[in-house]
Amino acid sequence: MNEKLHSLKKEQQELPAYRARKQIIQHIQRLRTAIIIGETGSGKTTQVPQYLYDARLHQNAVIAITQPRRVAAISIAQRVSEEKQCNLGELVGYNVRFDNMTSACTKLKYMTDGMLLREAILDPLLKKYSIVILDEAHERTIHTDVLFGVVKAAQKKRNSLNRKDVSLKIIIMSATMDVDNFSSYFGSCPVLYLEGRQFPIKLYYSPEHQSDYSFAALVTVFQIHRQASPDEGILVFLTGQEEIEATVKQIWDISKELAGEAPPLCVFPLYASQPPIVQLRVFSPVPKGTRKVIVATNVAETSLTIKGIKYVVDSGMVKAKLFNPSSGLDLLKVVRTSRAQAVQRTGRAGRESPGSCYRLYTEQEFDQFRPNTLPEIQRCNLSGVLLQMLAMGISDIVNFDFIDKPTTQSIINALDQLNFLGAVEKTDKIQLTAVGKKMAAFPLDPRLAKVILVAKDMNCLEEILSIVSILSVDSLVYNPQTRREEAVAARKKFESAEGDFMTYLNILRSFKASAGNKKWCRENFVNSKNANMALEVRRQLRGICQNQGMQFTSSARDSNAIRKCLVGGFFMNAAELDKDGNYLTLSTRKLCSIHPSSSLFNCKPAYVIYNELVQTTKCYMRDVCVVDPDWLYDAVPTYFKKK
């Protein structure tokens, strides 16, 4: 144990941030707002909060450190609690949606940006905190962007209101970014640059366009693997869970065939929706003489730093949420990264020694990438965040102090959506209705919050809570590549002719009935972690319902009532079958199909609602439910009259 502690201390002292420790403390001591820039892995996230705490700059209040991703919040809190030699949840804790590991003695609180924003609804002045660190600011998530304005306003108010209160310091931390924009937004505040470690990196471009980047990645990994010394790790950037899991499996299979010809290899997937325990595995050392290969999403771009990486293989692709304000459609789509992202990814190869980066695109293609990633607030549906802003009492959204404004059209669209959901009313100013206030109490997408509120009047709150919980966690089921058919056959018994939402409900019910039995889960290819998480989410949502004095009712399996409730929130995500057998969304007449993973894949119901649209080779509706067109009209006559 002592040895471990010793090596932790040593690692800490070798970080670039350590050398700048005194300077950081002095800098922040005299400033209200500061920006700290440093390369990924220099120790910003793990070390800076500890320096401030050790120097007692927190004045006995809490230091909040926001992260765009829950995985980063959890794994970094874990690491810092080890460095501070305390149990997680004591001095060092984390708070992410549906998972709060903090206590009254927590002073270093790692949290998602979404959670801090949620806290601001109850306390817009964030009085619990003496220091708010907005970390990974370059990611420009929608929540961090809104927080910029919220903490700036809180700081101003707290300084003017009560001099006895603890003042609020704001620290912006980021890898390379558009510093001038940030500094001028925060009143020309000074910027501290951490001296990073960056060794030269050899860049290789693909000589020609790659139509199948995951295949190209596979080939490249084995080119490197056959030549490089086994202690040199490879980090591959792909886009999403399915693709990553498939690639990991292929790498594993090929490496077994190569036994004897190349060193042994350990391959790890890394993506946001993994359970934290699984994610932490990527940090663990592999046996000597074995190569470490990590296949990751952009989570490994800046938020998590893994040691021993000498080679980066970059697909140049990322999965992004896109919203088209003119069509009102939210889409998940695999797109090109920005040049800034590509540079970040490349940088991962040269943190400890010179490295190499293989770009699976041509140099001409790279030149066509957009220079910077568009802030999420300019490409996402704003309805969720607007609901929260309105709940905080910010009613003049258009004139809110955004660092970069969303388009007026997207604000209008979001307000329209909230209006159709019955959450806002426009009198002389825009404000939340009683329904809207209740919706804002749920840490959920407004559509899901609305479904819960509808359910209490339709006598099926229990069932709806289950469905909403399932939609808030990752997939309840898994389909191993080699046993896909077996998995589908095993789960046939849960399938509902009315679609996926009802199927999920059946699975969760049976999971509960089996009391999470491991054998049952294995036989039915049910992911017990995610199913347990769904039950935990359900418990928490039930608590919120209880606070709102709702009656818990059950429809005793009346599926019509359940599906009518779902329509109450998802009417904007509806599609109808045309005479040629294609689906068209009702809102914008976009051509789409039922996703192959859906239990309705081979069926052609006349009307459906869906959870989300995913664009791959085609536009797919994911999580689909059969509905009666009359329900759609009855749910919101004004919405359908307009069309």
Of positions 33, 67, 75, 210, contacts ligand ADP by CB under 6 A? 75
Q: Does 307 bind ligand ADP (CB under 6 A)?
A: yes
Of positions 33, 42, 45, 112, contacts Mg ion by CB under 5 A? 45
Q: Does 436 bind ligand ADP (CB under 6 A)?
A: no
Q: How many residues bind ligand ADP (CB under 6 A)?
A: 17
Residue carrying the six token digits 């996926």: 500
Q: Which is nearer to ligand ADP, 95 or 378 (CB)?
A: 95
CB 420 within 8 A of CB 433: no
Q: Kindly report the backbone phi and psi dihedral angles of residue 552, in degrees, each rounded to the nearest multiple of 5, phi listed first.
A: -90, 115
Q: Which is nearer to Mg ion, 37 or 600 (CB)?
A: 37
Q: Beta-strand (E) ranges in 329-387?
A: 329-336, 355-359
Of positions 36, 63, 76, 565, contacts ligand ADP by CB under 6 A? 76
Q: Sort residue 254 into left (φ over 0), alpha (ψ -120 to 50) or beta.
A: alpha
Of positions 57, 61, 231, 283, contacts ligand ADP by CB under 6 A? 283
C-alpha dihedral, 205 to 210 to 212 to 213, nearest 10° = 20
- Rounded to the nearest angstrom, the gap between the alpha carbon of residue 607 and the centroid of all alpha carbons in its chain is 31
CA distance 138 to 149: 16
Q: Does 214 bind ligand ADP (CB under 6 A)?
A: no
Site for ligand ADP in 41-70 (CB under 6 A): 41-47
Task: Say whether 357 sits in a helix, a strand or coil.
Answer: strand
Q: Does 336 bind ligand ADP (CB under 6 A)?
A: no
Q: How far is the CB of 78 from ligand ADP (least distance, A)?
A: 6
Q: How far is the CB of 360 from ligand ADP (least distance, A)?
A: 25
Of positions 58, 79, 379, 456, contacts ligand ADP by CB under 6 A? 79
Q: Which is nearer to ligand ADP, 71 or 390 (CB)?
A: 71
- Rounded to the nearest angstrom, the gap between the alpha carbon of residue 126 and the centroid of all alpha carbons in its chain is 23
Binder of residue 15, out of Mg ion, ligand ADP, none (CB less than 5 to 8 A by kind): ligand ADP
Q: How far is the CB of 24 from ligand ADP (least distance, A)?
A: 12
Q: Which is nearer to ligand ADP, 67 or 573 (CB)?
A: 67
Burial degree of 73 (CB within 10 A; 0-12, 13-18, 19+) = buried
Q: Which is nearer to Mg ion, 36 or 248 (CB)?
A: 36
CB 213 within 8 A of CB 290: no
Integer CA distances (angstroms), 405 to 107, 401, 584, in order: 33, 8, 32
Q: Which is nearer to Mg ion, 134 or 508 (CB)?
A: 134
Q: How far is the CB of 76 from ligand ADP (least distance, A)?
A: 6
Q: Does 75 bind Mg ion (CB under 5 A)?
A: no
Integer CA distances (angstroms), 217 to 24, 283, 296, 317, 320, in order: 40, 22, 12, 12, 20
Interaction pattern, residues 25-44, with Mg ion; x per rule: CB under 5 A: -------------------x
Integer CA distances (angstroms), 526 to 177, 241, 297, 324, 543, in order: 42, 17, 24, 35, 26
Q: How far is the CB of 267 from ligand ADP (least distance, A)?
A: 18
Stretch that binds ligand ADP, among 73-81, 292-300, 443-451, 460-468 (CB under 6 A): 73-81
Q: Which is nearer to ligand ADP, 283 or 478 (CB)?
A: 283
Binder of residue 70, out of Mg ion, ligand ADP, none (CB less than 5 to 8 A by kind): none
Per 3-state DSSP, the chain is made up of helix, strand and coil in percentages (nearest 5) of: 45, 20, 35
The rounded radius of gyration (Å) of the Cα atoms in the chain is 25
CB 611 within 8 A of CB 622: yes
Q: In the complex, which residues of this chain contact Mg ion (CB under 5 A)?
A: 44-45
Q: In the complex, which residues of this chain contact ligand ADP (CB under 6 A)?
A: 15, 38, 40-47, 75-76, 78-79, 283, 305, 307
